[in-house]
Amino acid sequence: MEVYIHQLIIHELVKDVDDSEAGLFLSNALSPTDERAQLLVQKLHDTFVSKTEVLQGYLSSPEDALFPGYFQHLQDQNLTEEAFIAFSRDTMAALQLAIQGVVGAKGGYLVYADYEIFEARTLGIFLVRDTEGVVFSKNDNNTTFNLDATTYLNTDRLAMACRIHFGKAKDGTERCVELIKHAKSQKEISEYFINWIGLERHETSKELTHTFLEMVSQLPLPVDEESGDTVKEGEFREAVVKFAMNSPDKTIDLKKFDERFYQGEAQTETFLQENELQLDQQFHFDGNLMRKFNNYRVYAEGITLNFSRNHYQNRKIEIEGDAIVIRSEALVQKLLALLDDSH
């Protein structure tokens, strides 16, 4: 689904890796929301939601950090153009203070996008940098192509990015901030972004997905609406993974989950309350962990085996002593054909 841009402004944080001092180049006006802006924000959004490791948390109190206070003022001013420009410039000044003295941190362009997708208005802040590349150009005689050096904006690799959901931030009951989690080798760099934004009580997408899957494993198996029979565990797991993978923006909505599997009965809410667990109504899930919920892969002695929960429960795969038995006529035929071809 395409994003709809309400407002867009771009600033530059000027800092080399080896320097401890940082400078700013601040825009005084919004950028045009034309086709190029649409392409840029769409690409940045798509790159963000493709990330697996995402921190999800709350904004700290405005008394504890500058960014949350500026954000609160932006919302109090109903996201007007003047307020949006002031918010972006003020938070850039706060970032300059936060990054001073952090050797190894590098500057770049900060894209502030107030946009809407799936009827949810969101603030996206993306740190992107230039990268070197090559382009083809015809020579003067039009007889061949030259390779010319060029510089372009690398939107596939985000140095830092966060999204703040305006509705959740105003409501205050759910985690409203999503921030890309960097590798442990970049922990210090990640920390200054976390401190700049004022992110607190955060959990990773992997931790939230683990809580969700633990819950699903203990929920009662749903009933098939057509047959009235209880769905088999393997089929349920397969359907849960499919439901997640088809969810917009890699975001699971517990209300829609209950509608899909329990005819709207609040099974998830009841389970979380009874077990004193916390899980937001909507959260960004970890795709790798989700796939492992129903699909297994083992490797030993040069042999790799991939199978699903369904295969095991339907006795397509069984363990008999120290042997693994696979019952599949189609697989036997393919293996025999492969052995014949290898002669």
Q: How far apart are CA 238 and CA 257, in angstroms?
A: 14
Q: What angle do CA 293, 226, 327 make, to 5 degrees?
A: 45
User: What pLDDT, in 10s, does the model give residues 134-155?
Assistant: 667 777 777 676 767 666 566 6
Q: Is residue 89's pLDDT more than 50?
A: yes
| Dihedral Cα 299, 305, 306, 311, nearest 10 deg | -130
Please report the pLDDT score of residue 192 as a whole number: 78
Cross-strand partners of 129: 154
CB 196 within 8 A of CB 98: yes
Q: How far apart are CA 195 and CA 264, in angstroms?
A: 39
The torsion angles phi and psi of 111, rounded to 5 degrees, stand at -95, 115
Q: How far apart are CA 117 and CA 200, in angstroms?
A: 25
- Provide, rounded to the nearest whole percent, the portion of the chain with pLDDT above 70: 90
What average pLDDT does this structure show over 172-176? Answer: 83
Q: How far apart are CA 169 and CA 74, in angstroms?
A: 12
What count of Cα atoms within 13 Å lies in the side-chain half-sphere of residue 79?
15
| Helix 81-99 with 187-197: angle, nearest 10 deg | 140
Please report the pLDDT score of residue 186 as a whole number: 52
User: What pLDDT, in 10s, does the model give residues 43-84?
Assistant: 999 999 888 788 899 998 888 889 999 999 999 999 999 999
What average pLDDT does this structure show over 39-45? Answer: 92
Buried b (16+ CB within 10 A) or exposed e, 50-79: ebbebbbbbbbeeeebbbbbbbbebeeeeb
Q: Greater confidence, 336 or 124? A: 124
Closest CA to 215 of 172, 302, 142, 275: 275
Which token pair is 209? 């997905």
pLDDT band at 343 (very low <50, low <70, confident <90, very high): low
| Full-model pTM | 0.75
pLDDT band at 185 (very low <50, low <70, confident <90, very high): very low
pLDDT band at 107 (very low <50, low <70, confident <90, very high): confident
Range list of β-strands (E), the chain: 4-14, 23-25, 54-59, 108-117, 120-138, 145-154, 160-165, 177-180, 199-204, 251-253, 282-284, 295-300, 303-308, 317-320, 323-326
Q: Is residue 223's pLDDT more than 50?
A: yes
Q: Is residue 283's pLDDT more than 50?
A: yes
Q: Greater confidence, 78 or 159? A: 78
Q: Is residue 41's pLDDT more than 70?
A: yes
Closest CA to 125 of 109, 149, 103, 101: 109
Q: Greater confidence, 118 or 314? A: 118
Q: Is residue 284's pLDDT more than 70?
A: yes
For residue 88, the 8-state DSSP code is H
Closest CA to 211 of 266, 283, 295, 296: 283
Q: What is the distance of C-alpha 232 from the center of its chain?
A: 31
CB 272 within 8 A of CB 278: yes
User: What pLDDT, in 10s, does the model give residues 110-132?
Assistant: 999 999 998 889 999 999 887 76
